[in-house]
Structure 1
């Protein structure tokens, strides 16, 4: 996020591995306006004895910093609960001063009818290309879908919230239990939250939501299924309900993405544009159409560059932060560029 003073604040999680260890916590860093060095990392959130993972942030219209993240109860994504913290004093060095915190507890409408219908349809249509692992996951989803605990537990964030002109906040969430997505909705500035209708597809998770001028919302999602394409879904009613999930033409190797609507109305997407691997990270600029203008933030034979987060700063520059995994170690990387850079020739 960018503060009113022009500082950048970033969050991420790190540790020995959320599936096996409990030392995973959420950290942050700042880049002060006009400076070129990020601050030392500081702790943002940690429930001792439990992994704390995927972070998302926003700064609301009252200049409050919100941090969203899941705590993993049993070293499995299916067991997570999503938390939030709110800070009015986050400009000083080090950990923000958190004034509020709580859980986002959702009671989605019964997911079973739509999910079971989809699973039946895709199993018939795609069975020749479904791996044994995916078939086993589909069967497990069928067994779990009627259980209220699995429907209400396991929702977690990754991409930043979208705030609509009406003031409605949409926090994109997903569950690895069923590999589908949902929106946590707040119409009162984050005091209360309720669930949208589900975005039901075959492995569509980690939505990034953009809004067209006509009010239609478009969610772009990571593909955890067999199609290896960015999944897309639309809402005509400010995120309350969502239409069918379809595969776009954009390649996706089962990796996260993020998008932003620029102030001039253009849309920008950051994603891994490959069938396999995450050693190439692309930036495409369009208005939800062809995504024809593309430049690479990373394009190498090795390494992994993934889970991007993107915003536009007050000066018009685009800022992207992503995981930077190379032979020398694992870190985070920040890049900044103008929109015109995307259209320039060269690597």
Structure 2
């Protein structure tokens, strides 16, 4: 049953601008049921295929980090999803964190990690020219590189000058930091930036990983980050992602779990996350927030799924599709939840 979220509020920007938002939930469902060919699933990523169709990928197997874990997929639309099928398994090692990306040339790319330990991840990539029906052979993104290149969890961002930015991070001996991989030739070659400037007194514990990127105006790029400090981190770039400001902490709580965001228009962005301000805290509720001032304030915050006890609603992936916020997330490591929300501003 469709539910209506009447979220109308007055939001003041520069003292003069009033913003009203109405969000209507069009779909809130699982993409597969209890009869599934794996015990656990996690870390989904979503992309649009056009005409109201979507593709979702995730990693699944007997348990995260086990050798039988591969990359799985489903395609469809609300109320009509194809049965899960294995998409890629390059060898008998754990696969992780698939990321879908619709490139400007029409190719649908899939990036994913392979390796027993996160410290030594390899990044692999393949592409489809027919909306995910058939795929190229998977190859290493940067041959011989270890630790994680390309997108680690969230979507690639295409800038106004057509540069591709991949939000990346490193996890080595439980010391974390993030960086950006840049490609100026349509993903053929990649150059990684320096890791972020991180005050380890401000951000205690592991550090920061898994950036989520957006561009406000040409040359101005921004990221929010998962952190171990109990709050979401932020860094900004004034030169198309070549260099970044020192990481600061926002007022948004973070449980050291995945976040994702998408730009809707102008300075309006939407964020999905767990609003829990505790390092390694509980992974619920799943919340949607909207900012009208480029992420400085978040006047709209709506719980999508509350949770209790040992629930886990985590690792969201969100896109914007012609008036709709569309996202998916892990549901108790058993299923993938799909949500579609109509946006009216």
1:211 aligns with 2:221: no
Does the 8 Å contact 1:105/1:193 carry over to 2? yes
1:30 aligns with 2:67: no
1:169 aligns with 2:167: no
Q: CA RMSD in A?
A: 1.9
Map 1:224-303; keep pairs closer than 5 Å.
225=228, 227-263=229-265, 265-275=267-277, 276-286=281-291, 287-302=294-309, 303=311
Q: Distance in 2 between matches of 1:80 and 1:214?
A: 32
Q: Deviations over 1:248-278 (max 9, x none)?
A: 1110011100000013541111110012311
Q: Distance in 2 between matches of 1:163 and 1:235?
A: 15
Does the 8 Å contact 1:46/1:52 carry over to 2? yes
Q: Deviations over 1:94-140 (max 9, x none)?
A: xx32235422228xxxxxxxxxxxxxxxxxxxxxxxxxxxxxxxxxx
Does the 8 Å contact 2:164/2:182 carry over to 1? yes
Q: Distance in 1 between matches of 2:312 and 2:100?
A: 23
Corresponding residue of 1:310: 318
Q: Deviations over 1:7-60 (max 9, x none)?
A: 1001110123343x200100010114xx51211012221123111110111111
One of 196, 210, 221 as aligned partner of 2:225: 221
One of 167, 178, 182 as aligned partner of 1:181: 178
1:41 aligns with 2:34: no
TM-score, with length taken from structure 2: 0.77
Task: Give the number of equivalent residue pairs.
Answer: 282
Corresponding residue of 2:128: 87
Does the 8 Å contact 1:181/1:206 carry over to 2? yes
Q: Higher relative CO (CA 8 A, sep ≥ 6), structure 1 or 2?
A: 2
CA spacing shift, 1:214–1:171, aligned 2, 3 Å: closer
Secondary structure of 1:159 counterpart: coil
Does the 8 Å contact 2:160/2:218 carry over to 1? no
One of 148, 151, 156 as aligned partner of 1:155: 148
Q: Distance in 2 between matches of 1:100 and 1:183?
A: 25
Secondary structure of 2:58 counterpart: strand
Map 1:42-121; keep pairs closer than 5 Å.
42-72=85-115, 75-90=116-131, 96-99=133-136, 101-105=138-142
Q: Distance in 2 between matches of 1:194 and 1:43?
A: 31
Q: Distance in 2 between matches of 1:182 and 1:333?
A: 29
Does the 8 Å contact 2:216/2:266 carry over to 1? no
Higher helix share: 1
Q: Distance in 2 between matches of 1:337 and 1:36?
A: 15
Q: Distance in 1 between matches of 2:217 and 2:67?
A: 44
Does the 8 Å contact 1:45/1:52 carry over to 2? no
TM-score, with length taken from structure 1: 0.77
Q: Distance in 2 between matches of 1:197 and 1:158?
A: 19
CA spacing shift, 1:101–1:47, aligned 2, 3 Å: closer
One of 7, 11, 14 as aligned partner of 2:60: 14
